[in-house]
Amino acid sequence: MNTTPLAALNHIPPHLHTIADYQKQAQLHLDAATWANLEGAAGDEYSLNNNLRAFADIQLLPRHLNTFAGANTQIQLLGEQYPHPIFLAPVAYQQLFHPQGEIATAQAAAALQAPMILSHLSTTSMSTLNQVSGAAKWFQLYWQGSRKAALDLIFQAQHYAYQAIVLTVDAPHMGIRDRERRAAFQLPAHIRAVYQSSVNTTPLKENQHPLFDGLMQQAATWEDIAWLLQHSPLPILLKGILHPADAQQAYQYGAHGIIVSNHGGRILDTAVSPIQILGTMRKILSHDFPILLDSGIRRGTDIFKALALGASAVLVGRPYIYGLAVAGALGAAHSIKLLKEEFEVTMALMGTSCIKQINSSYIYHQNS
């Protein structure tokens, strides 16, 4: 049905009030296969749906009549101050969604002062992106079998003033995305990841297992992490942590933070939703160890809930990509602005005048 997608707009239509509105609109601007790539997730999409449901099921206990003198949304993270806790999650191949791709996203990030985490699978080089000045930048890395290759990219990122590295550890193998396969999604020929190295796999011997003896031998291990932490000039956060024992281990290995994420449900279906395990993580980790929360944020109240359960900041992915697909930099910026303003109103209505006040006492527990 979606045979001729609408072109991206140069303005914001007046009916876009929420991320859900952007989601509907974005579908009109993308072909069916690209939409399946963006919107789909692994398997039966239980994790995708549960990511949203789990947020909705959390009920808030607002407080009132507090003073708002000096109220703000600032956070401190890894020695930096950020004006608000919304980060742009790394999303691959952004030219799929808009011709301006990562450049448009960087412009939106700058406009909203939302740190952008550039994907390893960017269709735009760091050099090109450097033209856009503005928000803080982090760089996301997939391990591709070589310590040297990883470190080289980190040095490049440092050169271009990226402030931190996000190492994604939950995807040694791609997610099996049924919706994408049913839509026969293929990366178009003209969309290329600038930094993707072809993984250098040794040919398999007889009786060797293509997955276990092949691809999985290229995956990062805790020893690689230790080596990388030792050599990297930039702080490194591990993204995709879901098991409390891995969170503990990341902390003990000296990682600079973790990003609790199930990759938007795109890797392993029925993986727990980050917001459900976040509280456990915060309980076992030091109060000031950075824990960012990714997957499922669609509302300002979701951001509040994540912070209340222990997140230092949150990542949003699909929400700004919807905006990007609808109206490039303008749309991406507007979608982030919607979330930011919803979050500010939430803080006002919850009676919290700064991020440090936000804690689990604002969450309703059925037997409290």
Catalytic residues: 263
* Minimum distance, C-beta of residue 263 to its own copies, in the bound complex (Å): 10
Backbone angles phi, psi at 178, to 5 degrees: -65, -40
Q: Which stretch binds its own copies (CB under 8 A): 15-23, 91-99, 285-293, 322-330?
A: 15-23
Please state at what angle helix 300-308 crosses helix 318-350, rounded to 10 degrees: 70
- Shortest approach of its own copies to residue 177 CB, angstroms? 10
Residue closer to its own copies, measured from CB, 31 or 344: 344
Distance from C-alpha of 175 to C-alpha of 284, rounded to nearest angstrom: 29
Instruction: Give the count of alpha carbons within 13 A of 188, CB side only.
Output: 12
In this chain, which of 191, 348, 357, 360 binds its own copies, going by CB under 8 A? 348
Residue 1 or residue 65: which is nearer to its own copies going by CB? 65
CB-CB neighbours of 268 under 10 Å: 20
Using CB under 8 A as the binding rule, whether residue 111 contacts its own copies is answered as no
349 touching its own copies, by CB under 8 A: yes
Instruction: Say how many C-beta atoms besides its own lie within 10 A of residue 213's C-beta.
Output: 14
Specify the residue, 159 or 181, whose C-beta has the smaller distance to its own copies: 181
Amino acid at 100: Q
Q: Which is nearer to its own copies, 5 or 214 (CB)?
A: 214
The Cβ-side half-sphere exposure at 238, using a 13 Å CA radius, reads 26
Instruction: Please report, to the nearest 10 degrees, the dihedral formed by the alpha carbons of residues 219, 225, 230, 232 taken in order.
Output: 70
Site for its own copies in 118-177 (CB under 8 A): 169-173, 175-176
Q: Which stretch binds its own copies (CB under 8 A): 52-60, 116-124, 128-136, 323-331?
A: 52-60
Q: Which is nearer to its own copies, 104 or 297 (CB)?
A: 297
- Indicate the SS3 state at residue 232: coil
Contacts (CB under 8 A) with its own copies, residues 170-189: 170-173, 175-176, 178, 181-182
CB 246, CB 220: distance < 8 Å: no
The residue written with tokens 């101050």 in the block is 81
| Of the residues 34, 119, 312, 346, which one makes contact with its own copies according to CB under 8 A | 346
Length of the chain: 368
Say if residues 74 and 83 touch (Cβ distance below 8 Å).
yes
Per CB under 8 A, contacts with its own copies among 265-294 are 267-273, 276-277, 280
Per-position DSSP letters for 46-81, written without gaps between them: HHHHHHHHHHHT--B----S---TT----EEETTEE
Q: Is 72 in the site for its own copies (CB under 8 A)?
A: yes
361 binds its own copies (CB under 8 A): yes
Site size for its own copies (CB under 8 A): 80
CB of 337 to its own copies, least distance (A): 13
344 near its own copies, judged by CB under 8 A: yes
Helix (H, G, I), strand (E, B) or coil at 110: helix
Name the one range near its own copies by CB under 8 A: 93-101, 121-129, 263-271, 309-317. Answer: 263-271
Quote the Cα angle for 323-92-150, to 5°: 145
Choose which of 6, 13, 28, 68 interacts with its own copies (CB under 8 A): 68
Footprint (CB under 8 A) of its own copies, residues 220-249: 220-222, 224-225, 238, 240-246, 249
Find the part of the chain contacting its own copies (CB under 8 A) among 29-37, 89-97, 103-111, 212-220: 212-220
Residues 251, 270 contacting (CB under 8 angstroms): no
β strands within 149-193, DSSP E: 164-168
Residues 293-332 that bind its own copies (CB under 8 A): 299, 301
- Which is nearer to its own copies, 152 or 223 (by Cβ)? 223
